Amino acid sequence: MMISVSNTISGLRAHATKLFVSANNIANFATESFKKSRAVFREGRNGGVEVEIERVDTPGPIIPEDGDDPYFAREMFNVDLGEEIPQTILAQRGYEANLSVIRTTDELLGSLIDILG
């Protein structure tokens, strides 16, 4: 039982990290040259969840700079809100699911203690 609780807590932490990464990407949506990050889940020890944060180096749109030099341009951010908002919702739902498992485990242990006591 303790391994399942430990795995659930690792899932909570993983989804919280994913939510933080998406929030950081959204907060820097209009920052010039900002490169988004992505939280990648991997199976950890005993079936838990480990998170690796990867930087996504795909180039953002190139905007020509007004001025005398026609060859000068700026690279913009590579964050796509159409991708980030659904990732935020997925992280929220994953967090809620893991929290529901913890609540159910708590209720189960409470019932078990009542039966034995």
**Rounded Cα gap, residues 23 and 88, in angstroms:** 8
* Residue 54 located in a structural domain: yes
Instruction: Using alpha carbons, list the distances in angstroms from residue 23 to 27, 94, 95.
Output: 6, 16, 15
- How many domains in the chain? 1
* Residue 117 located in a structural domain: no
User: pLDDT tier at 6 (50, 70, 90 boundaries)?
Assistant: confident
Q: Write down the pLDDT at residue 114.
A: 87
Q: Write down the pLDDT at residue 110.
A: 87
Q: For the whole prediction, is pTM greater than 0.75?
A: yes
* Residue 57 located in a structural domain: yes
Give the start-end residues of each E strand in 3-94: 37-43, 49-55, 62-64, 73-75
pLDDT tens-digit profile of 77-114?
Answer: 899 999 999 999 999 999 999 999 999 988 998 888 88
* Residue 94 located in a structural domain: yes
Q: Which of 58, 93, 53, 97 is nearest to 76 (CA)?
A: 58
Torsion 99-86-29-69 (CA) sign: positive
Q: Which of 97, 85, 89, 91 is nearest to 14 (CA)?
A: 91
**Rounded Cα gap, residues 36 and 5, in angstroms:** 32
Q: Residue 58's domain spans which residues?
A: 2-103
* Residue 52 located in a structural domain: yes
Q: Write down the pLDDT at residue 70.
A: 61
